[in-house]
Amino acid sequence: MWAVIFGLANLAALGAGTAISVVLLATDHKSSTLPVLISLPVSGILYLITLSFFPFLVTVLSLASAKYLYSRRFFLVSPWLLAIGILIYSMNASQMLWRSFDIAIGYGTAVALFTDATVLKMIMKNEESRGSNRHIEVIRDLLHMGAGAILVALALGYGEGHMRIALTIAVFPFYYAGNYFSLYPGSRLGRAVHSLERPSTALGIGAIWFAAGTLIALGLVNSTPALGVVLFATTIGDPLATLFGTRFNSPRLPFNRKKSVAGFSAILIFSASFSYLLLGIAGIFLGVVAALAESFSYYPLDDNFAIPVILGIAVSLI
């Protein structure tokens, strides 16, 4: 019975994904052609791995959702991603299909961000305003680290299988909240949220990068300790690099003048030490990878995206 239902749902996913792609190309072919074409190879690979068209549909829906960021259309498209996630979970699908679901959301979102001229301008403003208000940066980093400590503890306590599902579902409220408060910033809570964002920066653009990168990493990592390392480096090591880099005067890195030796040393030492406790000698290697990913990140590549993705790739290769 379930096999028949899944087969019909699979065909429906192919039809829906194709229809959405056609609509995107028909309504705005100039900005949609490139992301749709870029998404096809990865969708093909995920199909070969899972024998399912759900990753294709999820990738296309993620493209559309990211394309409609900070607009009311977003709320017409993005809930379908959550619905598909709930459907996959209810069908007791394989972990591989769920991992492909994560990769598809993260990849589709990233492709849309990298190929959208308006979003690239948002990313540029975010990069230019980084560090302009040290008080805000410190508060943001402390909140980042507090949330990261909770995520790492949950990942190590409950395991990557449960955390993959929990983190995937947790992404959606952040997407919805960021878009809602961007459209309606006048409420008391909206003003409080905006007060923590960098000047002249779109609300939550860094969090969206983090969500996309973390989802891709979740799809690549199949080990609880390794997932803990990825989350630690991204949510604790990265903010520590910013705090140390802005607190202590040190030479700038020769390959990225916006990054400092103090910041590089901070993420390297803390990430490598934590990783060593979980993975031994291999953890030191991952600490080095995290530090290099953070230090080489500059426009348009956000370190919130680069660190988890590069670490996820490194973990899958060792």
Q: Quick one: three-class SS letters along the chain?
A: CHHHHHHHHHHHHHHHHHHHHHHHHHHCHHHHHHHHHHHHHHHHHHHHHHCCCHHHHHHHHHHHHHHCCCCCCHHHHCHHHHHHHHHHHHCCCCHHHHHHHHHHHHHHHHHHHHHCHHHHHHHHHHHHHCCCCHHHHHHHHHHHHHHHHHHHHHHHHHCHHHHHHHHHHHHHHHHHHHHHHHHCCCCHHHHHHHHCCCCCCCCCHHHHHHHHHHHHHHHHCCCHHHHHHHHHHHHHHHHHHHHHHHHCCCCEECCEEEEEHHHHHHHHHHHHHHHHHHHCHHHHHHHHHHHHHHHCCCCCCCHHHHHHHHHHHHHHHC
List the chain pLDDT tens, one digit each, 318 residues.
Answer: 656 766 777 788 888 888 888 888 888 777 888 888 888 888 889 888 888 888 898 999 998 888 888 888 888 888 888 888 887 777 766 778 888 888 999 999 899 888 887 777 777 776 666 656 666 777 777 887 888 888 888 878 776 666 667 777 777 777 777 777 777 777 677 677 666 666 666 666 777 888 889 889 888 888 888 888 999 999 998 888 888 887 878 788 777 777 888 888 888 999 999 999 998 898 899 999 998 988 887 777 788 888 999 999 998 887
Q: Determine the pLDDT at residue 309.
A: 93
